[in-house]
Chains A and B, each alone.
Chain A
Amino acid sequence: MHRLRRTVRQSRPDAIQENFNPSIVRIQGFQAVVPLQPYFGLLAEFTEPEDLVAAARTVHEQGYVRVEAYSPYPVEGLSESLGFTRSRLPLLVLIGAFLGGIGGYCLQYWVAAVEYPLNIGGRPLNSWPAFIPITFECTILVAALFAVLGMLALNGLPQPHHPLFNVPEFANYASTDRFFLVIRADDPQFHETRTRELLESLKPMAIYEVPWV
């Protein structure tokens, strides 16, 4: 049963760092995913956000790259301490705004001046001041859609399950008042004992192995 479930995991593009990077094998023509590591990673639990930020910084400075920190609310400086300083989202929203604005105006122009021209009191067909309100609304609409859907897409959501939820402490308290740091087992620097020692030196409340299933 375990083996079966393991093979069901879908491969995903690894654009998002914290999703897995398992090795892909082919068995009888099916593409399946078999994790090479015995477990997903090592998870350290903290009670204070400051400790988590400090721990994240230390781990990042030690050269670990497949690291992620979890908090029940956005903690200032946490993503920066992991080296994540710029998100591409603002650019995406700007593109959405341009698309919406240009698309909205072009639609009105095409309808009013090309496809269905109506002569109203001899006024110009491309009566642009009258097209501004809808152009504006379309700009906002498409930009807002890009902001929300772009956020979800860049975050790799929806993703209903994740190995971290196999740790009961994570599943129960990560969204309430606990702070977690995970170092994934597929990190190039990962070493079963050295990584564990590093985490222990950060004085967490507890350390868990994150099982695959």
Chain B
Amino acid sequence: MSQQPEQHHEIHRPPVLRPGHSLLSVTEKISTIVLTRHTSTGWWIGFIVGFIGVMLLLLGITYLFIAGIGIWGLNIPVAWGFAIVNFVWWIGIGHAGTLISAILLLLKQQWRTSINRFAEAMTIFAVACAGLFPLLHLGRPQFFYFLVPYPATTGVWPQFRSPLMWDFFAVATYFTVSLLFWYMGLIPDFATLRDRAHRWGAKVIYGILAMGWRGSSRHWRRYQDAYLLLAGLATPLVVSVHTIVSFDFAVGIVPGWHETIFPPYFVAGAIYSGFAMVFTLAIPLRAAYGLQDFITDRHLDNSAKVMLASGLVVAYGYLMEAFMAWYSGHAFETYVFTNRFTGPYAPAYWSLIVCNIVIPQALWFRRVRRTPIALFFISLVINVGMWLERFIIVVVSLHRDHLPSSWGMYSPTFWDWALYLGTIGLFVSLLFLFIRFLPMISIAEMRELVEEHDQEGHGQQHAAPPLHEPPVGQEGGTPPDASPEEDRPPESS
């Protein structure tokens, strides 16, 4: 990870794509990662680590199905434990993918291009992990299909006024739409892989997945329309999903849950943890596969800014929760808050403050935002912090609620941890399969980026003498071979 020696000292923002790439070079660079016969040792190590996690998950699920949810640390009053904490954590992580793909697309943020594909993959895998937990938490998971409104012989129908039904529809819709978005983005790239694959098997499989895509201009036109419309549809969807997850809590009357700030605060938290996970994945990936040309320091810088902004919204949420607890004068609400920072789970609360509010303030410094290793550690810290946040909302609110005689404590068992670590293993192994078999950067969109840069290059060559005489804001003048990208008018960030 020693790839950014000179860029720290530049006044310019690094480009979104290193200069010197052509249509062929981006295509080759990205497709070879997938089409090469050679599987690196690093890949195998990562995949096997993930796979061990999957085995742990299967073990945990098997024992859970045999013995029931009594194997977890659940009790009354804490009837929602790790399963719900992990559900909310995973689904939050799953928000960055759609945010990057959809919202940044609509805002015409060019830098999203090289990170959207794997952020979308991350979304799908995270939502898949999230979706497991409510089902496992059911107690009688074999009846999970009772959630689906279908004409049953029992004559019983789901209760649509319940936030748990809203949640089911929101998560199912989110998963489906994310999958559609991801697959549609992949179609032109499947066509590229089909055309570039040498092995017969790969040609056939990618060929089937490409559905005969051949890049016709009418096809592209409808494709772009569909992509834009899908982005427009996914944008309110992504906001609605975590809003509805927050309703699971906010509609209840438990002190610490019954708050109107929950929807925006949950959505901001989701974006925060999602971007943190993007960093956790992107930084090692770009180092391992030498993708610094495509995922440049500009991407890291911009994503860090988004992360910092959403982190501040989260901090505001914490502050407002505390303020409302005091301002309401509600005895239980006030108690829940003093209990958070002085009660038995106080270490978790203070760690949360350090992880989510104190340490991320380092992102104010450009130097930190452009140092991948620092970003990587900050992102890990935020991942932990966001998990703690959900732990505090779920467990700490429940363990001392309205009735002091029924107060209790919750401590996770081995099986709680097994399922949590198991889903991390599932997530990791799915990601490793993804980077081995699918292009982790959208090739077609990178080609567009190359072409746009080329055109800007041409334009500048023609217009250079009159327009660019005073090299404003450049230290020591422009070197003759300075890339045209560097002189681009800054995009909004």
Which A positions have Cβ atoms within 8 angstroms of B? 16-18, 49, 56, 68-75, 78-79, 82, 84, 87, 89-90, 93, 97, 107-108, 111-112, 115-116, 118, 120, 127, 130-131, 133-134, 136-138, 140-141, 143-145, 147-148, 150-152, 154-155, 157-162, 164-165, 170-177
The answer to whether A89 and B447 have CB atoms under 8 Å apart is no
The answer to whether B192 and A90 have CB atoms under 8 Å apart is no
B161 at the interface (CB under 8 A from A): yes
Known: A72-B447, A111-B149. A175 touches B195 (CB 8 A): yes
Q: Which residues of A contact B217 (CB under 8 A)?
A: 56, 68-71, 75, 78-79, 82, 84
Give the distance in Å from the alpha carbon of A108 to the alpha carbon of B165 in the complex: 11
B222 at the interface (CB under 8 A from A): yes
Known: A72-B447, A176-B23. A137 touches B223 (CB 8 A): no
Residue of chain B at shortest CB distance from A182: B216
Q: Which residues of A contact B149 (CB under 8 A)?
A: 107, 111
Q: Which residues of B contact A82 (CB under 8 A)?
A: 217-218
Question: 8 A-B pairs, CB-CB below 8 angstroms?
Answer: A70-B214, A87-B221, A111-B157, A116-B155, A136-B236, A137-B173, A143-B229, A158-B212
The answer to whether A74 and B211 have CB atoms under 8 Å apart is no
The answer to whether B230 and A133 have CB atoms under 8 Å apart is no
| A133-B244, A175-B213 given; 12 more Cβ-contact pairs under 8 Å | A17-B218, A68-B218, A73-B188, A87-B225, A93-B226, A93-B229, A118-B159, A144-B181, A151-B223, A158-B212, A177-B23, A177-B447
Give the distance in Å from the alpha carbon of A36 to the alpha carbon of B170 in the complex: 53
- B228-255 toward A: CB 8 Å interface, digit per residue (1/0)? 0110011011001000100100000000
Known: A89-B226, A90-B229, A151-B184. A165 touches B214 (CB 8 A): yes
The answer to whether A176 and B218 have CB atoms under 8 Å apart is no
Give the distance in Å from the alpha carbon of A111 to the alpha carbon of B188 in the complex: 43
Residue of chain B at shortest CB distance from A78: B217
Interface positions, chain B 289-344, Cβ under 8 Å from A, are none
Pick the contact of A157: B23, B183, B212 (CB < 8 A).
B212
Interface positions, chain B 146-174, Cβ under 8 Å from A, are 149, 155-161, 165-166, 169-170, 172-173
Q: Which residues of A contact B224 (CB under 8 A)?
A: 74
B22 at the interface (CB under 8 A from A): yes
Residue of chain A at shortest CB distance from B187: A157
The answer to whether B195 and A147 have CB atoms under 8 Å apart is no
- CB proximity of A176 to chain B, nearest CB, Å: 5
Give the distance in Å from the alpha carbon of A174 to the alpha carbon of B213 in the complex: 11
Give the distance in Å from the alpha carbon of A134 to the alpha carbon of B236 in the complex: 13
Question: Count of A-B contacts with CB under 8 A?
Answer: 199
Most chain B CB inside 10 Å of its own CB: which residue of A69, A155, A162: A155
The answer to whether B233 and A112 have CB atoms under 8 Å apart is no
The answer to whether B22 and A177 have CB atoms under 8 Å apart is yes
Known: A79-B217, A176-B196, A177-B24. A159 touches B230 (CB 8 A): no
Q: Which residues of B contact A160 (CB under 8 A)?
A: 207-208, 211-212
Give the distance in Å from the alpha carbon of A10 to the alpha carbon of B394 in the complex: 60
Q: Which residues of B contact A137 (CB under 8 A)?
A: 166, 169-170, 172-173, 237, 240
B379 at the interface (CB under 8 A from A): no
The answer to whether A171 and B211 have CB atoms under 8 Å apart is no
Q: Which residues of A contact B208 (CB under 8 A)?
A: 160
Residue of chain B at shortest CB distance from A80: B221
- CB proximity of B67 to chain A, nearest CB, Å: 34
B456 at the interface (CB under 8 A from A): no
Residue of chain B at shortest CB distance from A53: B217
The answer to whether A134 and B165 have CB atoms under 8 Å apart is yes
- CB proximity of A35 to chain B, nearest CB, Å: 19
Most chain B CB inside 10 Å of its own CB: which residue of A87, A138, A147, A172: A147
B176 at the interface (CB under 8 A from A): yes
The answer to whether A73 and B169 have CB atoms under 8 Å apart is no
The answer to whether B218 and A79 have CB atoms under 8 Å apart is yes
Give the distance in Å from the alpha carbon of A78 to the alpha carbon of B220 in the complex: 9
Q: Which residues of B contact A89 (CB under 8 A)?
A: 222, 225-226, 229
Interface positions, chain B 1-57, Cβ under 8 Å from A, are 22-24, 27
Residue of chain A at shortest CB distance from B178: A144
B191 at the interface (CB under 8 A from A): yes
The answer to whether B158 and A111 have CB atoms under 8 Å apart is yes
Residue of chain A at shortest CB distance from B240: A136
- CB proximity of A158 to chain B, nearest CB, Å: 4
Give the distance in Å from the alpha carbon of A112 to the alpha carbon of B237 in the complex: 25
Residue of chain A at shortest CB distance from B184: A148
Give the distance in Å from the alpha carbon of A74 to the alpha carbon of B448 in the complex: 7
The answer to whether B225 and A90 have CB atoms under 8 Å apart is yes
The answer to whether B223 and A74 have CB atoms under 8 Å apart is yes
B435 at the interface (CB under 8 A from A): no
B141 at the interface (CB under 8 A from A): no
- CB proximity of A48 to chain B, nearest CB, Å: 10
Q: Which residues of B contact A171 (CB under 8 A)?
A: 195
Most chain A CB inside 10 Å of its own CB: which residue of B160, B166, B207: B160
